[in-house]
């Protein structure tokens, strides 16, 4: 898994005397049958120029032998950055599909990974009971565990005879006190974790008692992030945890997409800080007023882009309507819109659910919530 920090480090790489190979390749089990991905890779290699090929021959060979040999560890797709001359090799195994691509350039090609960071949400999972807590992060269909908190000083509950009832009651209060302290500590640490990882959505899991205690003391700021609850065994493996939370995430994202599309359409119709359709969206992107871009998955539209000022439109023009410079034709203005959105730190949401996707397509396939 990678973080924004990792990508920013990659972005800094630039050697004047040589080039970097960037490979994006789907290697899902279907692709692995009859090694289809190897022939795909060979086809990508054919598309590069002879000069680039000669510069990066060693990298190409290294990547190919890697693809042939290390198949066991593959997930859905693979990303490799290689420059053997500088002893540089970075590889990510991803649980999502990517667009197959092979690029040879002075710097690593990172924008598809930045896109993934923008388009996929991170989820935090908090598995808690009266003494212990485990914390996970789920991102891009993968899970990572970030340690366990255990408070051994919570005394165990001992069953005693009826005559002890009074003392028992006091004893229970004592337990409550320890449990509360434990949960308070967990929440504090968890809050820091969420901030550090920039996680905005949460799933909680654990026995009823612990969860209701937790809800009593959890600050609103964290409570608002909770999107679901799962039933998970205290000592479940990472994989088991993932299996339990993925359906919850999927369900949540579906409902979220529906909500987003409806809100976008209603606000646009009411003229309330939202627009739909590529031309209007591009206009507000140019004004840097977009807060969130909403796009129907796989939607593409042809148009023209000014190389000088970045003006873009679906209209057939020969000169830029802003600066008069020459324009170039593009087969996908949506890509341009996404680029502009990322540049101005707007969120990008891709609508994948077919019903909602169709609905958005009726309104131009793309839209934006505006800042003001």
Distance CA 1, CA 4 (A): 10
Tell me how crowded residue 192 is: count the other CB atoms within 10 A of its CB. 10
311 is a contact residue toward Zn ion (CB under 5 A): yes
Binding test (CB under 5 A) with Zn ion, winner from 266, 300, 323, 326: 323
Least spacing, CB of residue 282 vs Zn ion, in Å? 13
Task: Please count the residues of this chain forming the interface with Zn ion, following the rule CB under 5 A.
Answer: 8
326 is a contact residue toward Zn ion (CB under 5 A): no
299 is a contact residue toward Zn ion (CB under 5 A): no
306 is a contact residue toward Zn ion (CB under 5 A): yes
Length of the chain: 372
Distance CA 300, CA 97 (A): 18
The answer to whether 179 and 206 are in contact (CB under 8 A) is no
The CA–CA distances, whole Å, from 219 to 5, 127, 148, 226, 229 equal: 28, 17, 21, 11, 17
Residue with smaller CB distance to Zn ion, 198 or 325: 325
Least spacing, CB of residue 365 vs Zn ion, in Å? 24
Least spacing, CB of residue 335 vs Zn ion, in Å? 18
19 is a contact residue toward Zn ion (CB under 5 A): no
Alpha helix positions (H), the chain: 4-12, 29-32, 36-46, 50-55, 57-69, 111-119, 165-197, 208-217, 220-223, 238-269, 278-286, 333-343, 354-362
11 is a contact residue toward Zn ion (CB under 5 A): no
Distance CA 23, CA 91 (A): 9
Least spacing, CB of residue 324 vs Zn ion, in Å? 7
308 is a contact residue toward Zn ion (CB under 5 A): yes
Binding test (CB under 5 A) with Zn ion, winner from 320, 334, 340, 366: 320
Residue with smaller CB distance to Zn ion, 167 or 326: 326
What are the residues binding Zn ion (CB under 5 A)? Answer: 306, 308-309, 311, 320, 322-323, 325
């Amino acid at each position: 898994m990678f973080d924004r920090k990792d990508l920013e480090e990659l972005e800094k790489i630039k050697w004047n005397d040589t080039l970097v190979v960037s490979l994006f390749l789907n290697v899902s089990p279907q692709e692995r049958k009859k090694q289809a991905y190897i022939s795909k890779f060979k086809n990508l290699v054919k598309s590069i120029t002879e000069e680039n090929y000669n510069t990066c021959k060693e990298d190409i060979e290294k990547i190919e032998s890697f693809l042939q040999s290390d198949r066991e560890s593959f997930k859905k797709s693979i990303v490799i950055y290689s420059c053997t001359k500088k002893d540089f090799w970075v590889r990510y195994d991803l649980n999502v599909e990517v667009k197959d691509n092979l690029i040879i350039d002075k710097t690593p090609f990172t924008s598809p990974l930045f896109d993934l960071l923008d388009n996929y949400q991170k989820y935090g999972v908090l598995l808690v009971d009266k003494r212990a807590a485990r914390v996970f992060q789920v991102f891009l269909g993968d899970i990572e565990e970030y340690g366990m908190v255990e408070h051994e000083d919570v005394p165990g509950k001992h069953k005693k005879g009826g005559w002890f009832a009074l003392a028992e009651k006091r004893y229970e209060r004592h337990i409550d006190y320890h449990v509360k302290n434990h949960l308070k500590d967990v929440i504090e640490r968890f809050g820091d974790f969420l901030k550090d990882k920039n996680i905005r959505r949460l799933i909680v899991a654990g026995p009823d008692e612990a969860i209701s205690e937790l809800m009593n003391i959890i600050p609103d700021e964290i409570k608002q992030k909770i999107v679901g609850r799962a039933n998970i065994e205290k000592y479940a493996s990472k994989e088991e945890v993932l299996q339990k939370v993925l359906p919850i995430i999927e369900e949540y994202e579906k409902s979220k997409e529906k909500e987003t599309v409806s809100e976008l359409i209603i606000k646009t119709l009411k003229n309330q800080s939202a627009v739909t359709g590529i031309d209007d969206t591009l206009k507000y992107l140019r004004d840097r007023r977009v807060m969130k871009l909403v796009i129907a998955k796989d939607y593409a539209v042809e148009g023209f882009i000014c190389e000088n000022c970045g003006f873009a439109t679906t209209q057939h023009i020969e000169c830029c309507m802003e600066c008069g410079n020459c324009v170039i034709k593009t087969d996908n203005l949506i890509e341009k819109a996404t680029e502009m959105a990322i540049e101005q730190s707007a969120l990008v949401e891709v609508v994948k659910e077919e019903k909602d996707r169709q609905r958005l397509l009726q309104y131009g396939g793309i839209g934006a919530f505006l800042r003001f």
